Structures are given as structure tokens and as C-alpha cells.
Amino acid sequence: MPSSPHASHPAAPHHTLSVLVENKAGVLTRIASLFARRGFNIYSLAVAPTEDDKFSRITIVVDVESAPLEQITKQLNKLINVIKITELHPDHAVERELLIATVRAAPEVRGQVIQLVDVFSGRILDVGHEDLTVSVDDEPARVDDFEELLRPYGIVELQRTGRVALPKIERPARLRGVRRAS
């Protein structure tokens, strides 16, 4: 689940599933274990309650071919607590990810780091003698770029949230919807 410390573009067959579930204990394990049983790696996973606290939305990014993914979504749909699964095509979704990193920023390069954070409309969260803790939230690809540009300074610690996504506010026909029991 943790994003790789390196540039984190998922390789070719990358799918984003948005899974609406009942907000009940154990749901996340059930979902994760369906992927694990087939030996699939979950590339990123983010979960939190929705506007209605009876439900949570899980955004899962996986690297699999479409055929095995179809079997997985069908198996996910069989889980009693899963309400709806939608595959979000990147062209028709808004995606965001948050990155927090502590980076080496000795006085002679500090200005450069701050500038970089500025370019990405990020924030400085904490300041030390040698280090800065910074954050950026953006499209996952931009976050990748930021991470890439930050790396030469020396990353002490880094954490990304995994992506969260919603469909764009447009005609629902654009969704490649994977509907329950259809």
C-alpha cells in the first residue's frame, strides 16, 4: 500500500476504483483480502467516511489487466457491505493526493526548496536548522513531479496519502461504471 519512494506513476494498466461501502468494522480487510488472495498489489488505497457517516468511500488504485480486474470487481460486489463500485477513468475524474515530506534544507539551499514548494503551491509545515517539512496536494502526477524534484535535496521522511478521486461533474454516461449485479 505505501507508495513507492520513487516516482510513483503506476505502470500501464492502472485502474482507479471508487468503492462506496457501509461504514462497518472489517470492511476494509474484506476488500483488501480479495486483492491479496489473487496476488494483486494494491498500488494505493485511501479510505474515509463520506458526507453520510453511514458510508465510507474507498479509493483503490491497482495495477492489473482489465480481465482479472473484472473478476475482482465482481467479487467485491458480492461483499455484503459494498454498496457500489465505480471505475474512474482518469480522463473523467478529479484526482488528488497529499504528500508530506521532511527534506534536507541547509541554509545554502533553503531558498531553493522554499521556491520549489511555492511553485507547487505547497506549504511549509515545520522548520528546523537543517530540515524543512513541506506539503503539497495536487494531481497525483504533479505530486510525482514534486517528489522527483525534491529528491536531490535529500528526503529524510516522506508520506503520501494515496489518491482520492471523484467523478467529474459531467454526464454520468462518461463513467465507465461497474454497477452492482448487472
Partner 1 sequence: MIAEGQPTNGGRALIQSLEMEGVEAIFGLPGGAILPVYDPIIDSPIRHILVRHEQGAGHMAEGYAHATGRPGVAMVTSGPGATNIVTPLADAYMDSIPMVCITGQVPLPAIGSDAFQEADITGITQSVTKHNFLVTSAADIPRTIREAFHIATTGRPGPVLVDIPKDIVDPNNPASAMDWYWPDSVDLPGYKPNTRGHPKMIKQAAELICRSERPVIYAGGGILKARAAEALRELAELTGIPVVTTLMARGAFPDDHELCLGMPGMHGNYTAVTSMQESDLLIALGSRFDDRVTGKVPDFAPEAKIIHVDIDPAELGKVRRPDVPIVGDCRLVIEELVRAIGDLGGSDAQPDRSPWRSRISGWQEKYPLTYEPSEPGDGLKPQFVLETLRDHTPDDTIVASGVGQHQMWASQHWKFNHPYTWVNSGGLGTMGFSVPAAIGAKVGRPDRMVWAVDGDGCFQMTAQELVTAAAERIPVKVAILNNAYLGMVRQWQEMFYEERYSEVYLSPDLPDYKLWAEAMGCEGMRVEDPEDVLPAIEKANEIDDRPVVIDFRTDHREKVYPMVPAGQSNSNIVVDPSQGEGGH
Distance, first Cα to last Cα, the chain: 30
Which of the residues 160 through 179 are near partner 1 (CB under 8 A)? none
Q: Which of 23, 81, 133, 135 binds partner 1 (CB under 8 A)?
A: 81
Give the number of other Cβ atoms within 10 Å of residue 133's Cβ: 17
Which of the residues 33 through 52 are near partner 1 (CB under 8 A)? 33, 37
Question: What is the distance between the alpha carbons of residues 162 and 8, in angstroms, rounded to a whole number?
Answer: 10
Strand partners, 87: 17, 176
Closest CB 82 distance from partner 1, rounded Å: 5
Task: Determine, following the binding rule CB under 8 A, whether residue 180 of this chain makes contact with partner 1.
Answer: yes
Alpha helices, DSSP H only, in the chain?
27-37, 66-78, 107-119, 140-150
Identify which of 170, 182, 167, 131 has the alpha carbon closest to the alpha carbon of residue 59: 167
Q: Smaller CB distance to partner 1: residue 4 or 33? A: 33
Q: Which of 23, 77, 133, 135 binds partner 1 (CB under 8 A)?
A: 77
Q: What is the radius of gyration, based on Cα positions, of the chain? A: 18
Stretch that binds partner 1, among 74-82, 115-123, 131-139, 144-152 (CB under 8 A): 74-82
Task: Determine, following the binding rule CB under 8 A, whether residue 79 of this chain makes contact with partner 1.
Answer: yes
Question: What is the distance between the alpha carbons of residues 182 and 179, in angstroms, rounded to a whole number?
Answer: 6
Stretch that binds partner 1, among 77-85, 94-102, 104-112, 156-164 (CB under 8 A): 77-85
Which chain residues interact with partner 1 by CB under 8 A? 21-22, 25-26, 29-30, 33, 37, 70-71, 74-75, 77-84, 180-182
